[in-house]
Amino acid sequence: MTLTLIHTSDWHLGHELAGHPREAEHEAFLAWLLGQLDEQEADVLLVTGDIYDVANPPVSAMRRLYAFLAAASARRPGLLTVILGGNHDSAARINLPAPLLDEARVRFVGNLPRKVRPDGEGTMPDHAAMLIPLPGKTGEIAAWLAAVPFCRPGDLGAEPLQSLYAGVAAAGAERAGSLPLILSGHLHVAGGAVSELSERRIVVGGEEAQAASLFDPRAAYVALGHLHRAQDVAGPCPIRYAGSPFPLSATERDYAHSISVLRVSPGKFALGEVPIPRPVPFLAVPARGAAPLDAVVAELEALPADEGLPRERHPFLEVTVAVDGPEPHLQARVLAALDGKAVRLTRILRQVATAPDANEGPLAGADLGDLAPEAVFAALHGAKYGGNPPPDDLARAFAELLIEVNTLPAGEPA
């Protein structure tokens, strides 16, 4: 009764970063994962949601998934692949090929299965339908998976998430008997780190985040998706986010991406991780923090020129410029410095030196009628640009505007 399960998540097939396609990276990851299925002697592959980046993914993304599933099945005939729906996925689209597939080899769980209530009044989550037997090395059932995908409010109805998980864990524990029970989910569990840009639609700050006490202590493992950093979550049982296969935004470039490998044998349970090779580097200029425009431009000009590397292998680049006033030519200078370089720009950040608190500024407590427009302009400029007054040409332009506004003929709209 031994079983090896590979847990991975948040592939976001079809993703683009600042308009740059990720197809070459997905291709490299899936080819590597195919090799890992053999190397780890995997019996189960579990993908915990956000298989696609958007609800209506491009044909190329769907073709890539189906080609991978066919290759995985051909390579390891005993393998069961389970794919859960995430918040980026369309449940209906994920479920679409299910009737064509051998349930013993590929299972899609796009949304929460529901059934008619015993009293015939409406429907309720079908806990039993979420339970999937997991084959071990010999083909016998070695564990059970309670496959809970991302739950939309409409999937849950009046039932809170807590009672859904309690119900499905109880049904799973009963069904599993002495065999291990694995739970899953695609949600934000408190204690997990959040990346700034990629997990959009998350409410950070507590509201949507769930406590780890959501999960039943009888679970041998809880396989989570949604957060892109691979990480353990403290709770009543082992809980882990597998994370995404590579950075989906600049904020994720320092993550150590991996797959989680779970090995279950009688009385033993081991959880390990295998780092995923990163096919495309992610650069930042400067490497940490921000630098003035001249220093940034010099560093960009020193980057290697394009030596015929295919564009989809060019490193991604994020640029952060320290500014203390308006820099009208900032973008043009950055783009000019990057001309002919083997990098793909994702974004240019402007970092302003910390502004003094507006409530403690020179205008604090002043009556609006007592203030000269020039003073308001100077104070706003200072608040926005690290306390610096507007440069002379800008102050002059503002004064000219002011004269123009004040000398408009009466009756014309200002």
Please answer whether residues 167 and 205 qualify as being in contact, where contact means their C-beta atoms are separated by less than 8 angstroms: no
Number of residues that bind Mn ion (CB under 5 A): 4
Judged by beta carbon, residue 192 or residue 390, the one nearer Mn ion is 192
Q: Residue 318, interface with Mn ion (CB under 5 A)?
A: no
3-state class of 244 per DSSP?
Answer: coil
Count of CA atoms in the C-beta half-sphere (13 A) of 184: 33
How many other CB atoms are found less than 10 A from the CB of residue 44? Answer: 24
Q: How far is the CB of 150 from Mn ion (least distance, A)?
A: 7
Exposed/middle/buried for residue 283 (C-beta within 10 Å: 0-12, 13-18, 19+) = middle
Tokens 């006490």 sit on residue: 213
Pair 79, 86: CB distance under 8 Å:
no
Residue 188 binds Mn ion (CB under 5 A): no
Among 14, 57, 85, 86, binds Mn ion (CB under 5 A): 86
Task: Identify whether the C-beta of residue 166 lies closer than 8 Å to the C-beta of residue 216.
Answer: yes
The least distance separating Mn ion from the CB of residue 365, rounded to whole angstroms, comes to 47
SS3 (DSSP) at 19: coil
- Secondary structure letter of residue 78 according to DSSP: T
What's the closest the beta carbon of residue 165 comes to Mn ion, in angstroms? 18
| Closer Cβ to Mn ion, 87 or 346, answer by number | 87
Q: Which is nearer to Mn ion, 204 or 358 (CB)?
A: 204
**50 lies in the site for Mn ion, by CB under 5 A:** yes
Task: Please identify, using beta-carbon distances, which residue of 25 and 50 lies nearer to Mn ion.
Answer: 50
Half-sphere exposure of 119 (CA within 13 A, CB side): 2
Q: Which of residues 216-245 bind Mn ion (CB under 5 A)?
A: 226
Minimal distance, residue 12 CB to Mn ion, in Å: 9
For residue 78, which amino acid is it?
G
Q: Where is 275: in which H helix or E strand?
A: strand 268-275
Least separation in angstroms between residue 255's CB and Mn ion is 15
Q: What's the min distance (Å) between Cβ of 226 and Mn ion?
A: 4
- Name which position in 87, 184, 244, 320 contacts Mn ion (CB under 5 A): 87
Give the residue with the Cβ less far from Mn ion, 184 or 320: 184
In angstroms, what is the minimal distance from the CB of 228 to Mn ion? 8
Closer residue to Mn ion, CB minimum distance, 87 or 249: 87
- CB-count exposure of residue 266 (10 Å: 0-12, 13-18, 19+): exposed
Residue 188 or 344: which CB sits closer to Mn ion? 188
Which residues make up the interface to Mn ion (CB under 5 A)?
A: 50, 86-87, 226
